[in-house]
Amino acid sequence: MSRGFFITFEGPDGSGKSTQAHFLAQNLQEEGYSVLLTREPGGTALGEAVRGILLGKDLQMSNETEALLYAAARAQHVEEKIKPALEQGKIVICDRFVDSSLAYQGYGLGLPLEELKKINSFAARGLRPNLTFLLDLEPERGLARARIERGQMDRIEERALEFHSKVRHGFLDLAKQERERFCVLQIADMSKEETAAFIWNQTLNLL
Ligand SMILES: Nc1ncnc2c1ncn2[C@@H]1O[C@H](COP(=O)(O)OP(=O)(O)OP(=O)(O)O)[C@@H](O)[C@H]1O
Ligand SMILES: [Mg+2]
């Protein structure tokens, strides 16, 4: 379906995904690559509206509803933004994708993984990343960073530490199952610049 290259950033809250996605996009653009940098949930007008519902604290939401809303935002994102960009030969960098749904709603909330995979494959029309950077960090540290940066937590971040630990181990488990797609970085003792340099080298090797 595509001529481009699809890179995703995954990992717990506050692990540096957005920071690194920006660095990588900038580096690629400086090398002359055509890049789409986008994020989930969001990336489209509908997606950003759904993001508000998902991360806000006003509405009661079952676990199944949460999973379907993430998938709904993703379906629009793939159709409206990601697929067209890949067809134009762009490098698409996405801050979170299907793995986040499996880690948070699957490993974290305990929804059945096989069902989640089906729903998300339907939403993404089977599209899968060529390369996924998993930024691994203890959830305590990531949440503390997010709190310092924004001063408050969203509906998902507010969940208990136990939930965030399950999410972290979920990501690591997913990475073990698909070693050829995942590049796992233990970033606890790495600066932003060191992390960016590692990601840049890895990307150049694989492009
Ligand atoms: N290697 C690092 N060392 C120290 N601080 C960092 C590092 N990388 C990012 N940070 C800081 O941690 C905070 C969270 O980073 P960032 O927003 O990129 O994470 P994120 O994974 O996108 O978080 P979220 O899941 O909330 O979107 C920011 O304030 C950022 O400047
Ligand atoms: Mg972010």
The answer to whether the CB of 62 is under 6 A from ligand 1 is: no
pLDDT band at 2 (very low <50, low <70, confident <90, very high): low
* DSSP-derived secondary structure for 132-199: EEEEE--HHHHHHHHHHHHSS--TTTTS-HHHHHHHHHHHHHHHHHTTTTEEEEE-TT--HHHHHHHH
Could you give the count of Cα atoms lying within 13 Å of 189 in the half-sphere of its Cβ? 0
Rounded to an integer, the average pLDDT of 178-186 is 97
Class level of CATH domain 5-206:
alpha beta
Instruction: Evaluate: CB of 128 within 6 angstroms of ligand 1.
Output: no
Report the pLDDT averaged over residues 113-134.
98
Question: For the chain, what are the domain ranges?
Answer: 5-206
The 3-state DSSP class for residue 38 equals strand
Q: Is the pLDDT of residue 1 over 80?
A: no
Q: pLDDT tens, 185-201?
A: 999 999 999 999 999 99
Listed range (92-96, 105-109, 202-206) with the worst mean pLDDT: 202-206
pLDDT at 151: 80
Q: Which of 15, 20, 143, 187 to mutate for ligand 1's pocket (most ligand atoms within 8 Å of CB)?
A: 15
